[in-house]
Amino acid sequence: MGAEAEKQSEKTVYVYDFAELDSVPEGQLSGKVTPNNKVSKKSSSFGAAITGEAMHVGLIRKAPGSGSKPHTHPNEQFSFVLEGALLYEFEDQDCLVTPGTVIHIPANVVHSSCATGDGEALFFVCKDVRGGLAGPPVDGIEDGPRYLPGYGPNGKLEDE
């Protein structure tokens, strides 16, 4: 069997286990897989994602006391908190978001989130990809994540 015929007979992967996405699976995939890694230069978010033609989903973690700088993106986003708690800041309000809660972020709304100092946060994210996935931090500088007072990289208190 030639290489082209072999490729055509390959079954497409439609089911993905986030726990197994440390690398891109082999074979024909139904979507683009981004393996576990740091999500952006403006956040401490770490996780894997799958991107289709119109939707992007990911399973994301933030270390205690860490998160994203205030930013926007050109697409709508929903996040569903599974574990831990997130402190969300929107243009005009602050919210503590706990497991079982859904966050809706309309396109171009300035927002930021950090895991509380109580522990790591785990959430599922879903975005519309038609306008692109990422937007700029409000200050225009992608110089790393935001930390709550007293916290630094890997969720460690600075005085530990």
CATH of the domain at 127: 2.60.120.10
Residue 85: is it exposed, middle or buried by C-beta count within 10 angstroms (0-12/13-18/19+)? middle
Q: How many helices (H) and strands (E) does the chain have?
A: 1, 11
pLDDT at 155 over 90: no
| Distance between CA atoms of residues 115 and 97, nearest Å | 9
Count how many domains the chain has: 1
Residue 7 structure tokens: 């490729």
Domain membership of residue 24 (yes or no) is no
Of 143 and 123, the structure prediction assigns the larger pLDDT to 123
Range of the domain at 76: 33-151
CB 148 within 8 A of CB 114: yes
Is 140 in a helix, a strand, or coil? Answer: coil
What contacts 3, CB < 8 A, 6 or more positions away? none
Residue 37 lies in a domain: yes
pLDDT category, 42, cuts 50, 70, 90? confident
**Mean pLDDT confidence for 102-109:** 94
